[in-house]
Copies of this chain bind each other. A is one copy, B any other.
Amino acid sequence: MTISIIGIGLIGGSLAITLKENGFAQRIIGVDVNPDNIDKAIRRRLIDEGKTLDEAIAESDLIIVATPVDSMTRVLPLVLDKINAKQVVIDVGSTKTLILESVQDHPMRRRFVATHPMAGTEYSGPESAVPKLFEHKYTVLCDVEHSDPDAVQLIESLYQSIPMNIIHFDGASHDIHTAYVSHISHISSFALALTVLAKEKDEERIFELASTGFSSTVRLAKSSPDTWIPIFRQNRDNVLDVLDEHISQLSQFRSLLIKKDFDTFHKLISEANQIRKIIS
């Protein structure tokens, strides 16, 4: 099978290596607005060759759109305009509501499958692509009842080949859940980085003390604004809901510290410890 990947960054590039290495794809064509990314991707052997969007679509069985989510809503309808009834198109975006809306009335809608392989790092670009990024993680398929069964089956076999665990959500639920388990973590890290960097202006030596706990909490603050602003923009309402809850939890801690109510604070930390049952 020939696969085109539109957008050869962390996610597109990592899928490219993975699907070539495991034999799911015999040939991978890369498409990217930035010719540097194509050069890097060929040199790193992520893709076999670079082509224009039109050439790539014409030669592919499957087209994977892996651009930032704001481009996806523009690119997906253009790609669907050009495919035939046997080709399949997927996105791998971190948001779903607006992406699904962008194609909902398209005559080729049923050849499209909305997916979100839940994996990533704080790095971006083809230089950050890694082969085992997705292995044994979860991938979400959204609103598959609006896709042709053969297209869904192909995409399930693609993700099973990695292998990833597949779960199904409707687009709206996906966007609520990812606000909680991914988007708020990024907001929190960005804010924590700014908090600490503001202090650094006075005290250069502070970072000699930065411990592994600090690095772990702030790691995501290295993530690219070009990836994350479109996500926050598209999922604004859900992100605002979770952010309000998070600020209110922090304000509760603040008020307990002011009142020196360490007994209640102790109980809340014990409750927070229950996160153990979720993350290993």
Listed in ascending order, the chain A residues whose CB lies under 8 Å from chain B are 118-122, 137-138, 140, 165, 167, 173, 176-178, 180-182, 184-200, 203, 205-225, 228-229, 232-233, 236, 239-240, 242-247, 249-251, 253-254, 257-258, 260, 262, 265-266, 268-276, 278-280
CB <8 Å contact, A254 and B243: yes
Taken together as a complex, chains A and B put the C-alpha atoms of A193 and B188 apart, in Å, by: 12
What would be 15 A-B contacts, judged by CB atoms less than 8 Å apart?
A137-B212, A181-B207, A185-B192, A185-B217, A186-B213, A188-B217, A189-B217, A192-B246, A197-B275, A213-B219, A225-B266, A228-B269, A240-B254, A240-B258, A247-B250
Known contacts: A181-B211, A222-B273. The answer to whether A190 contacts B246 by CB under 8 A is no
Task: With CB as the reference atom, state the residue of chain B lying closest to A235.
Answer: B257
Contact with A167, one of B205, B249, B271 (Cβ below 8 angstroms):
B205
Q: Which residues of B contact A140 (CB under 8 A)?
A: 209
Known contacts: A140-B209, A185-B218. The answer to whether A195 contacts B257 by CB under 8 A is no
CB <8 Å contact, A245 and B198: yes
Known contacts: A138-B208, A208-B138. The answer to whether A220 contacts B225 by CB under 8 A is no
Q: Which residues of B contact A215 (CB under 8 A)?
A: 279-280
Q: Which residues of B contact A177 (CB under 8 A)?
A: 203, 205-206, 209
